[in-house]
Structure 1
């Protein structure tokens, strides 16, 4: 039995001023694939399909502008990016595809033959029928809105690949809606593609209850990539291990750009890069998008930075954004970056898949006119006292104290006179805070100090002000303690005593690696780990 499925429409009574159908640009998302989904924007005379029970009829063009066509295509292409299938506007690609490996999605203003009760319509599993049966999206019923038309196109194509609706149920297993409308708001607001994603930015494939019952879970990814459809996932473009990490090579301007795809839920892409000297390393990790606020993205990026020993130096995944930023000082050496898709407070990890770009830059520290920029500090009664040393060959034009509550995104706390070398701040929040100094020289160059960390509350034990060091260890202590530093093999390499308040322990003699420092007083002992670069 052939099952027909209708898609919810948003009947928007808006004026549409475009009188002439735009010339449809030729676009292909993955030309190497045999399987094809054609987005047909320019109209067609349809006959000989199961839709033609009343005879042949004409589907008018979509009524979209060129820009709207491109946006619609890019949104749908990103939804299907993980799979070994080509989203195309090219009729020749569709014709050349195997007859049981292709689907035509007709995006048209002509809905009267079917009625205005649905924004789109498709037969379940029709992708494999091989008889030319298309599916439809009625563009005028969506007010010619490219976002909503794209949601409907991905949704209808999903039906032809065997998917039912992702539905909503209450705690007693009563269906509350045939469509799961998702949850949340803003950049990370989420909904299933096979639900209703018109009002959410992050619309993904989902593993949830479908319209047949609250215990009937539908794994969209498994069905789309399954043997029945016959095309599967794309081949993994980057290795899932440190050993196979792809090399990222800086160009002559000390930049590199990498493009990749997270194809499956378990996929993690690894990259390796080498810095010849110490300096400032920045990286913008951006999921594919069609506009502001990562509009149209399918990937919530989790980016992690590791040293040459595969020790984690930082994890970068802002809770309310899909993109990530690294901005840190690194010593000479080899480093690794991993990229994977994560869930967030609204979206599950399952469907966080898609393409991304890594855009990195490096400022060579050996060429810096700043010879020394080192931040110290201590805390007492929630007063954070900062002191720093600055030695530069060029005049300083601007000096800013920056803070961060997640260690990844820094904001301006205060701009101080360029001759100041100390600052005090009352901090009364129940979470750790990091500080750094940002200096701008008169030549326009920007430089950053090391980062120090303060933890909230009364200090009951010695605390390292940063676990990644380049020269000395900085410590805030509530009293006098003996300290003992051990290397990764448990061999003691240094010992001594710290006083109450702020102290430094010389560490220039330590080779790069992982160390443990043990603090002892009376019968109390505490141990922390740090990394020397």
Structure 2
């Protein structure tokens, strides 16, 4: 167990009408009389964070880049349009006519100075201050990511904060983050808030808000860690949460790497909402998640089964949120070859992610849940989850399931359940296309049906009169395309007997020497065969004289031979020109 000592014990005071003095330093505060009796309120004073033993970070600012351009520092919104707003006021202003001015400044207005790390104190923030504002916002936004709450650095106006009637469903709270001032002087604390002021209907404006003071923070941890955790803690009070402590301590100190947000939440890298599951819990009946959800709402954005899975593509990572301990987000993807599915989280993560991969039959292929370990007060290892495999070359469909898990039995110090393992993540896919066998078996042509011309034969004449056919042999079922010196003559399919034929129309071929080529395509295999022929123009071949059939019959074989002789002489004469 680590030793952490606090300079001031936490104190909660309930008062009716005028607030009772709060703490020793508040004894000099004069109660102010308001025009109407103020509503009952309960103030919770939280001590300044004190450094603990262990792997801390001494630098005041984190080396990690801020989440947005510095020019957008006061435009940040975690969930624009949400009905609940948590406005982080770093620019200061005037507080008057509420419990803070009445109880801590004798009823006089309070001038709230802007947040500052470096002199002079002004709203002309330097780059270091702007970066730290963004990191504080990032931490608080992560804590409230499971809920319908917009954590913002932008002043959205009183309409986003005040609640004027029970039917007014658009409201929130304001947190003043400042170095010092009357409230800080009188409470001598690191933060102060009102229990349940955020959903309060009557007197919401009078009771609302919380404070975090930075003058003594960020001494041995980054300022964003100390202040950001303080903000989430105080906002938790405004939602109605009380402290998680033990029978002997107001705040549970935790053990590496875990502690509750409503405990002493400064020194551990994994801080989560709690249900008091840790040893010797003094407030096990307080269900942090249920209380905040009841005042804000939750909405699951992804299905939880293969049938309702969201499509995950290698070109576009998807951002998601685990919102409850039973929440499962499902993503469907197609992959082949070297494949990686990665679930990653940003700084200040509350989610301890588990990744499960299912095949198309729903069978579990892999479950990834790395062990969690402490790096320092801000960082822990093992919260992300990544799966890499070499899949078959044929693409197949898989489902990735993302959920939050614990690190072990929460009754053992330093361990936690899946209760508070909630928050943002990004899931991405990297995969190859279907691969080709590096040494495929060659497809051997069917040599029993060689590709060849049967007519015309190589070197023979071909009469282009529209009645002559070009014929040949080939693989049954294959496609044959015949060309004449590159020009298509005709296309056909080889018959079951291995024979094919093409009948070109008259005038298709040019007279003279022509190369006929037959190209066969079968199952991706291509073969060719060619012949050189002498194309005869039918229009220039003289007609045979009409010979009476009775004469031919009388001449018999001699007559037929004579007719053939005449035809041959005339074709030869035509060929010679």
TM-score by length of 1: 0.60
**Partner residue of 1:303?**
355
Cα distance, 1:96 vs. partner? 3.7
Contact 1:122 1:135 survives alignment (8 Å): yes
Separation in 2, partners of 1:319, 1:11: 29
Q: In structure 1, what is the Cα distance between the partners aligned to 2:440 and 2:90? A: 61
Compute the displacement of 1:232 (Å).
Answer: 1.3
User: Which residue matches 1:141?
Assistant: 216
Residues in 1 aligned to 2:261 and 2:233: alpha-carbon distance in whole angstroms: 6
Q: Distance in 2 between matches of 1:258 and 1:117?
A: 45
- 77-86 or 50-59, which deviates more: 50-59
Instruction: Report 1:169-188 matches (<5 A).
Output: 175-184=247-256
Native 8 Å contact 1:300 1:343 kept in 2: yes
Q: Which residue of 2 aligns with 1:127?
A: 198
Question: Is the Cα–Cα contact under 8 Å of residues 354 and 405 in structure 2 kept in the other structure?
Answer: yes
Task: Quote the offset at 1:128 in angstroms.
Answer: 2.5
Seen in structure 2, the aligned counterparts of structure 1 residues 182 and 250 have a Cα distance that, compared at 3 Å, is same
Residue 98 of structure 2 corresponds to 49
Q: Which of the pair has more CA radius of gyration?
A: 2
Alpha-carbon separation, structure 1, partners of 2:47 and 2:283: 23
**Corresponding residue of 2:86:** 37
2:425 aligns with one of 344, 352, 356: 356
Instruction: Name the CA distance, whole Å, in 1 between partners of 2:59 and 2:418.
Output: 39
For the Cα contact (< 8 Å) 1:306–1:312, is it kept in 2?
yes
CA contact (8 A) 1:24 1:41 kept: no
Runs of 4+ in 1 over 6 A off after TM superposition: 14-17
Q: Distance in 2 between matches of 1:34 and 1:240?
A: 26
CA 1:148 to 1:369, structure 2 compared with 1: closer, same or farther past 3 Å?
farther
Instruction: Pick closer, same or farther for the CA change 1:196–1:369 going to 2, 3 Å.
Output: farther
Shift of 1:285: 1.0
| Aligned counterparts of 1:370 and 1:236: Cα–Cα separation in 2 | 49
Aligned residue among 355, 368, 373 for 1:316: 368
Report if aligned partners of 1:94, 1:102 keep a CA contact under 8 Å in 2.
Answer: no
1:490 is aligned to: none
Report SS of the residue matched to 1:366: coil
Structure 2 gap ranges (5+):
1-39, 52-57, 62-69, 118-128, 165-170, 373-381, 409-414, 442-577
Structure-2 residue corresponding to 1:280: 338
Conserved in 1, the CA contact under 8 Å of 2:161 and 2:174? Answer: no
CA deviations 1:325-384 (Å, max 9, x no partner) are 111012331111000000114222100001101121112351475989xxxxxxxxxxxx
Tell me: CA distance 1:309–1:49, structure 2 relative to 1, closer, same or farther (3 Å). Answer: same
Query: What TM-score results when the alignment is normalised by the length of structure 2?
Result: 0.56
Higher helix share: 2
Is residue 270 from structure 1 mapped to residue 330 from structure 2 by the alignment?
A: yes
Q: Is the 8 A contact 2:91 2:113 kept in 1?
A: yes
Instruction: Answer whether contact 1:72 1:150 (CA < 8 A) is retained.
Output: yes
| CA pair 118-243 structure 1, distance change in 2 beyond 3 A | same
Aligned partner of 1:337 in structure 2 is: 400
- Whether the 8 Å CA contact 2:243–2:283 is kept in 1: the answer is no
Deviation at 1:84, TM superposition (A): 0.7
- Listed one character per residue, the Cα deviations across residues 261-316 of structure 1 (whole Å, up to 9, x for unaligned) are 111111000111123xx3111122102x23xxxxx001000000010010001001
Question: 2:84, 2:160 within 8 Å by CA — same for their partners in 1?
Answer: no
Secondary structure of the equivalent of 1:274?
strand
Residue of structure 2 equivalent to 1:68: 132
| 1:10 positional shift | 2.2
CA-atom RMSD in angstroms: 2.8
Q: Which whole-Å CA distance do the structure 1 matches of 2:196 and 2:440 have between them?
A: 67
Partner SS, residue 177 of structure 1: coil
CA distance in 2, matches of 1:89, 1:367: 53
What CA distance in whole angstroms lies between the structure 2 residues aligned with 1:9 and 1:370?
Answer: 70
Provide Cα deviations, 1:419-469, integer angstroms capped at 9, x if missing partner.
xxxxxxxxxxxxxxxxxxxxxxxxxxxxxxxxxxxxxxxxxxxxxxxxxxx
Establish whether residue 238 from structure 1 lines up as the match of residue 302 from structure 2.
Answer: yes
Which stretch has the larger CA shift, 124-133 or 190-199?
A: 124-133
Is the 8 Å Cα contact of residues 196 and 239 (structure 2) preserved in structure 1?
yes
- Could you tell me which residue of structure 2 aligns to residue 117 of structure 1? 188
Are 1:325 and 2:393 matched, yes or no? no
User: Is the 8 Å Cα contact of residues 24 and 42 (structure 1) preserved in structure 2?
Assistant: no
- The equivalences for 1:121-270 within 5 A come to 121-129=192-200, 130-132=204-206, 133-143=208-218, 145-168=223-246, 175-184=247-256, 189-208=257-276, 214=282, 216-226=284-294, 229=295, 231-233=296-298, 235-251=299-315, 256-270=316-330
Structure 1 residues 93 and 336, CA gap change in structure 2 (3 angstroms): farther
SS in 1 for 2:307: coil
Distance in structure 1 (CA, Å) of the matches to 2:188 and 2:162: 33
Query: 1:25: how far off?
Result: 2.3
Deviation at 1:110, TM superposition (A): 1.7
Pick 1 or 2: higher relative contact order, CA cutoff 8 A, min separation 6: 2
The structural deviation recorded for 1:88 is 0.8
SS of aligned partner of 2:101: coil
In the alignment, is the contact (CA less than 8 A) between 1:268 and 1:339 conserved in 2? Answer: yes
CA contact (8 A) 1:36 1:94 kept: no
Please state how far the C-alpha of 1:118 moved relative to its aligned partner. Answer: 1.4
- Pick from 112, 129, 134: which aligns with 1:59? 112
Counterpart Cα distance in 2 of 1:344 and 1:149: 26
Alignment of 1:469-488 (within 5 A): none
* Deviations 1:498-529, CA, capped at 9 Å, x for gaps: xxxxxxxxxxxxxxxxxxxxxxxxxxxxxxxx
- Map residues 450-469 of structure 1 onto 2, 5 A cutoff: none
Of 39, 44, 47, the residue aligned with 1:8 is 47
Gaps of 5+ in 1: 169-174, 291-295, 373-533
Aligned residue-pair number:
342
Per mean C-alpha deviation after superposition, the further-off stretch among 85-94 and 323-332 is: 85-94
The correspondence for 2:178, drawn from 108, 112, 125, is 108
